[in-house]
Structure 1
Amino acid sequence: MASVANEITQQMAERAPGTWVCTPRDFLGLGSRDAVDQALSRLVKAGTLRRIGQGLYDMPRFSIRLNRPAPADMDAAVAALARRDGVRIMPDGLVAANRLGLTNAVPAKTSYLTDGASRTLKIDGRTVRFRHGRPRIMQWAGRPAAPVVQALVWLGPDAATDAQVVATLRRRLPDEVKHDLSEHINDVPGWAMPLARSIVSGPAIAA
């Protein structure tokens, strides 16, 4: 038991605190599932690890600004769920559009798309919704251009054709993203293909 707990602590410490979320499945190479569960429980009681959701743990970092442990990294928690459950997960279109600077709107609840089942979970005290996404969209999961496609779909045919949308994406997208979008342009919804071509082949626009 102690050796399993020590190995888990060492592996967690090798990563910057707060940047990686684990599940019991990540440590099954160290012992039986029962031994891993007991070790994790022991580490939580000792304050070494923090349980942020059902079967989700992190090594908390202290926030000087907040004067308390910093919130869990939600993207890291979602990545842990994807590893554990063998599914693909990515932020929904509103989040993607916000991160790309295409909207100031922010979601009332943290929301993701998945090719797994729709469900709602509590992670670090926050309600997180996972909504089953269409295969046409989920095939972009993990690709550099995924947020662009999600944002365009969220905006829809009318809003996405605004010249400012294209100008913003031409200016902000790195070459890697533009290349990925170009390489997989046939996977973009039909109405968005002219926009995607304009984004990747149009002239650069000064900031």
Structure 2
Amino acid sequence: MSVHQTILDKINLKAPGDIFFPTEFRMLGTDDAIKMALSRLVKENKIERLAHGIYYIPKFHDLIGAVKPSLEMIANAIASRDHIQIKSTGISALNKLGLSEQVPTRHVYITNGQPRTYHVAENEIHFKSASPKKLALKGPISSLIILAMDEMGQSEFDETLANKIKVLLQNEDPTLLENDMMLAPSWIAKELLSIISKS
């Protein structure tokens, strides 16, 4: 059986919307043969190329048509492939928390892996190295808040943002919040303590 057919058989087992990488097929042939097979499958509309070395199974919705994976889904798929940890930061974190309506074209994540940038259409996924302390943040809400505030800087922090954060923190596990406040930069810990004490 050809490399092309073997890869197609494996791809047919995947679900629409699944993200995958050429490395999954390494045991089936040479890198060049795999690359050629994937290129042919793209031309046959069996798969789509999201970025260099990143593919997905086309997914369609009856009303909106083609549904492509979000940048967050792609970032998480890369992290899973590389067995690394990632966390949203900056505008991506603010957007995820609903603290900003700005839709970032550059999604930034801190990681314990190698710093890298992936170009996806007009957007970028950027992995940047971070200290173990930042990666030790545990709260699904408080970690995003701390990373967003850290990226934003103290000068950008205001009363409006503080009031929004106050509401969000009410949904965080107190134990995880306590853990994250101990790891936060001093000015952020001070601001969060002030917000909590007003609750």
Band of TM-score, shorter chain = 0.7 to 0.9
Q: Is the 8 A contact 1:97 1:151 kept in 2?
A: yes
Matched, 1:112 2:108: yes
Query: How far apart, CA to CA, are the structure 1 residues paired with 2:42 and 2:170?
Result: 41
Matched, 1:92 2:89: yes
1:17-166 → structure 2 map (5 Å cutoff):
17-18=16-17, 20-26=18-24, 31-32=27-28, 34=30, 37=35, 40-67=38-65, 69-107=66-104, 109-115=105-111, 116-123=113-120, 125-130=121-126, 132-135=128-131, 138-140=134-136, 144=140, 145-160=142-157, 162-166=158-162
TM-score, length-normalised on structure 1? 0.72
Query: How far apart, CA to CA, are the structure 2 residues paired with 1:197 and 1:27?
Result: 51
User: What residue identity is the alignment partner of 2:12?
Assistant: T
Q: Is the 8 A contact 1:118 1:132 kept in 2?
A: yes
Query: How far apart, CA to CA, are the structure 1 residues paired with 2:189 and 2:143?
Result: 14
From 5, 15, 36, the equivalent of 2:8 is 5
Q: What's the CA shift for 1:192?
A: 0.9
State the secondary structure of the residue aligned to 2:69. Answer: coil
Q: What's the CA shift for 1:201?
A: 6.1
What is the aligned partner in structure 1 of residue 186 from structure 2? Answer: 190
Query: How far apart, CA to CA, are the structure 2 residues paired with 1:7 and 1:37?
Result: 15
Q: What's the CA shift for 1:193?
A: 0.9
User: What residue identity is the alignment partner of 1:55?
Assistant: G
**In the superposition, relative to structure 1, how do residues 82 and 142 fare at CA in structure 2: closer, same or farther (>3 Å)?**
farther
TM-score, length-normalised on structure 2? 0.74
Q: Is the 8 A contact 2:137 2:180 kept in 1?
A: no
The CA deviation string for residues 124-180 of structure 1, in whole angstroms up to 9 with x for no partner, is x123151524316741577523311122113322433x3332321232346345542
Query: How far apart, CA to CA, are the structure 1 residues paired with 2:173 and 2:41?
Result: 41
Q: Is the 8 A contact 2:88 2:108 kept in 1?
A: yes
User: What residue identity is the alignment partner of 2:45?
Assistant: G
What is the aligned partner in structure 2 of residue 175 from structure 1? Answer: 171
Q: What's the CA shift for 1:186?
A: 1.6
Tell which deviates more after alignment, 136-145 or 46-55: 136-145
Q: Please, which runs of 5 or more residues in structure 1 have no aligned partner? A: none
Q: What's the CA shift for 1:58?
A: 0.9
Q: What's the CA shift for 1:61?
A: 1.6
Q: What's the CA shift for 1:46?
A: 3.0
Moved segments of 4+, more than 6 Å:
none
Query: How far apart, CA to CA, are the structure 2 residues paired with 1:190 and 1:169?
Result: 17
Q: What value does the CA root-mean-square deviation take over the aligned residues?
A: 3.2
Q: Is the 8 A contact 2:115 2:127 kept in 1?
A: yes
Q: What's the CA shift for 1:63?
A: 4.4
Q: What's the CA shift for 1:199?
A: 4.8
